[in-house]
C-alpha cells in the first residue's frame, strides 16, 4: 500500500462526506439555534420554524429576482447574499407581528407549553399556505454567480491525484456565513446588555422580572434573532440545494433532532447537534467501497457497497437518532445548561 492511496482515500472522503456533511450540518445548526432560542426564552417547541425558514427564503428569493431585474447582481457571488439583509428584516417583522397577534395572548394567560405548541401548528399551516400561495409549491433554484471554487478535474490536474475534490462556492459561503453568524450570536448573548437580559430571563423568569428586565423587550429581541437565524439558514440551504416549501416543512424534524440532541435551550448544544445530524446522515448512507479499496490491501477488498443504510433511509436517520436520544438521554448532551 502506498501513501498516495491514503491521500486519494482522504480526498475521496472529503469530497463526498466531509464537505457535504459540514455544509448540511452548518445549515441545520443555524436552524436548530432558532428552535432552541424559542424554547429557552418562550418555553415551547415551535413547529412553525421550518415554515418560518421557508418564508424568509421566499422573501429573499423575491428580492433577488427584483435585484436581478434591475440589473444588480453579486458578480461571482450569488445575488441572494445582497438580498439576505432585506429578507431578514421582513422575516423579523413578520415574527414580531405573529408574536403580537398570536402568542402574546397566551403568554398573558400563562398557558401551558402544550397550548403554545398547538398554536404553533396553526401558525405553521398559515405560513405554509402563505408561502405556497405567493411563490408556488415548486422546486426553485435561485443560485447565480460562480458555481465552483475548484472543479474536480482542475483539482486532479493540479495535484496529479486520481480522485478529484470539487469545492462548491455554496459550501464555502455556507460555512463562512454560519461561522460569522454564530460568533455574532454568541457575542450578543454573552456581552451585550440585551443578550444578558435574555439569558437572565431564560434562566429564571421571576428573578429577571424582579431585577427590572422588560419581558416584552426580551421576547421581541428573541423573535428578531429567531427570524434572522431562520432566514439565514433557509437561504443557505436553498442556495446549496434548492427551495421547495415542502422540503423546508419537513426540515422541522432534523431541526428538532439537532436541538434536542444538544440539549434543548442550549445554543452550543444546538450547534453540536446540527453537526451530529449532518454528519450521521451523510456518513451512514455513504458507500465506503471505493474508500476501502484504497486503504485496504487487495486481498481483503470488500465486495459489497459497504453502506450502513441504504440512501432510501437518509431522511429517517435523523428521526432515528432523535428517538434514541429522547429515550436514553432526553436532556441532551449538554444537560442542565441553558442560554
Partner 1 sequence: MNQKLRAPIAFLFMGLLLLSVGVGQSWSVSLGIINLCLISAIMSLGVNIQWGYAGLFNAGIMGFVAIGGVSAVLISHEPVNEAWASGGFGILISLSFIIAAYCLILFIRKNLNSIFLRKFFILLISVLTLFIILYFYRPAVSSIESINPAKTGFLGGLGLPIIYSWLVGGLIAGVIAYFIGKITLGLRSDYLAIATLGISEIIIAILKHEDWLSRGVKNVTGLSRPVPYEVDLQQADWFVDLVIWINSGKISSILDSSDQTILINQLIIDSSGIFVKLCYASLFTIVLLIILAFSNRALNSPWGRMMRAIRDNEDAASAIGKNIVKQHLQVFIIGSAVVGIAGAMLTTLDGQFTPGSYQPLRFTFIVWIMVIVGGSGNNLGSIFGGFFVWFMWIEAEPLSIFIVQFLTNGLDYDNVIRLHLIKSAPHLRLFLMGLILLLTMRFMPQGVIPETIKRK
CB of 264 to partner 1, least distance (A): 9
85 forms part of the interface with partner 1 (CB under 8 A): no
**Closest approach of partner 1 to the CB of residue 239, in Å:** 24
Least distance from partner 1 to the Cβ atom of residue 149, Å? 35
Q: Which residues pair with 167 in a beta bridge?
A: 150
Among 153, 176, 184, 330, interactor with partner 1 by CB under 8 A: 330
Q: Which residues contact 136 (CB under 8 A, 6 or more apart)?
A: none
Closer CB to partner 1, residue 1 or residue 134? 134
| Dist CA 235 CA 82 (whole Å) | 11
Interhelix angle 215-240/19-42, rounded to 10 degrees, is 160
Q: Tell me which residue of 178, 168, 215 sits closest to 194, measured CA to CA.
A: 215
Class of residue 75 by CB neighbours under 10 A (exposed 0-12, middle 13-18, buried 19+): exposed
* Span interacting with partner 1, options 162-170, 173-181, 234-242, 256-264, rule CB under 8 A: 256-264
Question: Residues 268, 262: contact at Cβ < 8 Å?
Answer: yes
Site for partner 1 in 39-78 (CB under 8 A): 44-45
Return the sign of the alpha-carbon dihedral for residues 15, 20, 21, 26.
positive
Applying CB under 8 A, among 17, 166, 175, 326 the residue interacting with partner 1 is 326
Binding-site member from 93, 129, 158, 183 for partner 1 (CB under 8 A) = 129
Exactly one of 29, 257, 270, 272 binds partner 1 (CB under 8 A); that residue is: 257
Per-state percent for the chain, helix, strand, coil, to nearest 5: 75, 0, 25
204 binds partner 1 (CB under 8 A): no
- Single out the residue of 118, 172, 176, 305 in contact with partner 1 (rule: CB under 8 A): 118
DSSP codes joined into one string, 271-318:
HHHHHHHHHHHHHHHS--HHHHHHHS-GGG---S---SS-GGGHHHHH
Q: Write down the least CB distance from residue 6 to partner 1, Å.
A: 29
Q: How many CB atoms lie within 10 A of CB 207?
A: 11
260 binds partner 1, rule: CB under 8 A: yes
Between CA 83 and CA 310 the distance in angstroms is: 38
Q: How far is the CB of 322 from partner 1 (least distance, A)?
A: 5
Determine the size of the site formed for partner 1 (CB under 8 A). Answer: 44
Least spacing, CB of residue 325 vs partner 1, in Å: 9
Q: Write the CB contacts of 306 (distance below 8 Å, at least 6 apart in sequence).
A: 287, 288, 289, 291, 292
Give min distance, CB of 13 to partner 1, in A.
25
Query: x/- contact string, 221-250, with partner 1 (CB under 8 A)?
Result: ----------------------------xx
Q: How many CB atoms lie within 10 A of CB 327?
A: 8
- Residue 289: CB minimum distance to partner 1, A: 16
User: Which residues of this protein are in contact with partner 1, per CB under 8 A?
Assistant: 44-45, 102, 105, 113-115, 117-119, 121-130, 132-134, 136-137, 249-250, 253, 256-257, 260, 310, 312-313, 315-316, 318-320, 322-323, 326-327, 330
Amino acid at each position: 500500500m502506498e501513501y498516495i492511496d491514503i491521500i486519494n482515500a482522504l480526498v475521496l472522503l472529503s469530497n463526498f462526506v466531509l464537505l457535504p456533511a459540514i455544509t448540511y450540518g452548518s445549515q441545520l445548526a443555524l436552524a436548530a439555534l432558532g428552535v432552541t432560542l424559542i424554547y429557552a426564552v418562550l418555553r415551547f417547541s415551535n413547529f412553525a420554524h421550518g415554515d418560518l425558514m421557508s418564508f424568509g427564503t421566499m422573501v429573499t428569493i423575491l428580492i433577488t429576482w427584483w435585484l436581478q431585474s434591475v440589473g444588480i447582481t453579486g458578480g461571482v457571488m450569488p445575488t441572494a447574499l445582497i438580498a439576505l439583509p432585506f429578507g431578514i428584516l421582513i422575516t423579523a417583522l413578520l415574527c414580531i407581528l405573529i408574536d403580537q397577534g398570536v402568542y402574546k395572548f397566551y403568554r398573558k394567560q400563562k398557558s401551558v407549553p402544550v397550548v403554545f405548541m398547538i398554536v404553533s401548528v396553526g401558525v405553521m399551516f398559515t405560513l405554509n399556505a402563505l408561502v405556497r400561495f405567493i411563490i408556488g409549491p415548486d422546486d426553485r433554484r435561485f443560485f447565480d454567480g460562480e458555481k465552483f471554487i475548484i472543479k474536480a478535474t482542475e483539482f486532479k490536474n493540479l495535484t496529479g491525484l486520481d480522485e478529484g475534490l470539487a469545492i462548491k462556492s455554496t459550501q464555502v459561503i455556507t460555512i463562512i456565513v454560519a461561522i460569522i453568524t454564530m460568533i455574532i450570536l454568541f457575542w450578543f448573548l454573552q456581552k451585550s446588555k440585551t443578550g444578558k437580559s435574555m439569558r437572565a430571563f431564560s434562566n429564571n423568569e421571576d428573578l429577571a422580572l424582579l431585577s427590572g428586565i422588560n419581558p416584552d423587550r426580551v421576547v421581541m429581541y428573541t423573535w428578531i434573532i429567531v427570524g434572522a437565524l431562520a432566514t439565514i439558514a433557509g437561504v443557505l440551504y436553498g442556495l446549496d440545494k434548492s427551495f421547495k416549501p415542502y422540503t423546508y416543512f419537513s426540515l422541522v424534524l432534523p431541526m428538532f433532532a439537532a436541538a434536542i440532541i444538544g440539549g434543548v435551550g442550549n445554543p452550543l448544544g444546538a450547534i453540536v447537534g446540527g453537526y451530529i445530524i449532518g454528519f450521521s446522515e451523510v456518513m451512514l448512507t455513504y458507500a465506503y467501497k471505493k474508500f476501502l479499496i484504497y486503504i485496504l490491501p487487495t486481498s481483503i477488498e470488500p465486495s459489497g457497497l459497504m453502506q450502513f443504510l441504504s440512501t432510501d433511509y437518509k431522511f429517517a436517520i435523523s428521526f432515528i437518532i432523535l428517538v434514541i436520544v429522547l429515550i436514553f438521554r432526553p436532556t441532551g448532551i449538554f444537560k442542565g445548561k441553558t442560554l
